[in-house]
């Protein structure tokens, strides 16, 4: 007969993505092991009680140069696990004590029937938004923002304010209704009245367009010269209280900080500049957000995926701060 004392039961730990009994809170994880949801949040398609739904849209059929962004959602999730270990810097609070965040996996796309893709993304977004949750979406190439904007404009009312971090303005002309092009989405969005150019702003731009369609452009050289805080104050002044959608193309960052992207452009923002701006967006009426264009085949040491995960984490912290989270 074994007379050794029974060891105390260990507290729950590991694989919180599938074992956590509720949507709130965090528990111990091995950062190098386990189920790879974004920041170890619960994997579920059940939307009840969720404040924010994380999902991926693994599309790169709209790229004009290097593909690979279909692998972006998985890379961002994998890079995010170390961020779930500690309270995010510089916030000093656990956003998941305030926000019920789930990872709903990826939007189903039939890559062999590309004409069905815009509708599939819209329907995916409509279902999530109908639950009352906000969306944090991972691309995929930047085209995915177009059907996401359509769904958000339906839900929150058009036109929306757009806060757009990018190397490219993505307002090049395209009047073909069925085209998949990651450089023309905001041309279409302006033409359709989805966004209001007078209250929309593009940050980090360093490509030319003869017509920026009235959007405010804070190009990369100007941000370098005048500083991140100046850029933040301009964003807040331009957008004001209007419902705002934030889209972050990772090529907003200089290739030194984000080499793994489809169309890299030298001279971009540093990760420190971009994060400083994102962390200051708490005053916005933030109704949706995405992080796009991570292309893992061109990444080095997960630099790009890690930068994207940090941006996404900070966007969640912005929402948590808006709901009263404090250190």
Tokens 């933040």 sit at which residue?
232
CA–CA dist 252, 204 (Å, integer): 5
CB 96 within 8 A of CB 24: yes
Q: Where are the alpha helices (DSSP H) in 192-239?
A: 220-226, 228-239
List, in order, residues 6 or more apart from 309 with CB less than 8 Å away: 38, 76, 79, 80, 83
Region label for 293, one of left (φ > 0), alpha (ψ between -120 and 50) or beta (otherwise): left
Cα–Cα nearest to 277, from 167, 203, 216, 215:
203
CB 22 within 8 A of CB 5: no
Question: Which residues fall in the annotated binding site?
Answer: 142, 166, 168, 170, 249, 251
Cα–Cα nearest to 307, from 261, 267, 262, 263:
261
Strand partners, 218: 203
Question: Which residues fall in the annotated binding site for Mn(2+)?
Answer: 142, 166, 168, 170, 249, 251
Rg, C-alpha atoms of the chain: 20
DSSP string, 37-57: -GGGPEE-S--TT-SEEEEEE
Q: Where are the alpha helices (DSSP H) in the chain?
A: 16-19, 72-80, 117-130, 145-156, 185-191, 220-226, 228-239, 271-279, 303-322
């Amino acid at each position: 007969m074994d007379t050794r004392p029974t060891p105390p039961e260990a507290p729950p730990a590991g694989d919180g993505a599938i074992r956590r009994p509720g949507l709130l809170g965090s528990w111990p994880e091995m950062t190098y092991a386990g189920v790879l949801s974004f920041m170890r949040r619960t994997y579920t398609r059940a939307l009840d009680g969720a404040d924010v739904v994380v999902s991926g849209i693994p599309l790169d059929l709209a790229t004009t140069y290097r593909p690979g962004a279909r692998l972006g959602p998985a890379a961002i999730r994998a890079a995010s696990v170390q961020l779930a270990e500690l309270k995010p810097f510089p916030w000093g609070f656990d956003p998941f004590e305030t926000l019920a965040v789930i990872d709903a996996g990826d939007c189903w796309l039939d890559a062999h029937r590309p004409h069905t893709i815009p509708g599939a993304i819209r329907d995916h977004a409509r279902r999530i938004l109908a639950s009352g949750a906000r969306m944090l979406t991972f691309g995929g190439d930047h085209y995915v923002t177009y059907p996401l904007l359509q769904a958000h404009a339906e839900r929150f009312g058009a036109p929306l304010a757009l806060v757009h971090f990018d190397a490219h303005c993505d307002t090049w002309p395209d009047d073909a209704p069925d085209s998949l092009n990651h450089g023309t989405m905001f041309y279409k969005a302006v033409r359709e009245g989805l966004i209001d150019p007078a209250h929309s702003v593009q940050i980090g731009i360093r490509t030319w367009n003869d017509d920026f369609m009235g959007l405010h452009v804070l190009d990369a050289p100007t941000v370098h010269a005048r500083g991140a805080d100046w850029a933040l104050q301009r964003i807040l002044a331009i957008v004001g209280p209007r419902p705002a959608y934030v889209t972050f193309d990772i090529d907003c960052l200089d290739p030194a900080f984000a080499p793994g992207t489809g169309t890299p452009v030298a001279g971009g923002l540093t990760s420190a500049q971009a994060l400083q701006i994102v962390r200051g967006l708490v005053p916005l009426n933030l109704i949706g957000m995405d992080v796009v264009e991570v292309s893992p085949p061109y990444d080095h040491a997960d630099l790009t995926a890690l930068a994207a995960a940090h941006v996404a984490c900070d966007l969640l912290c912005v929402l948590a701060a808006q709901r009263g989270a404090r250190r």
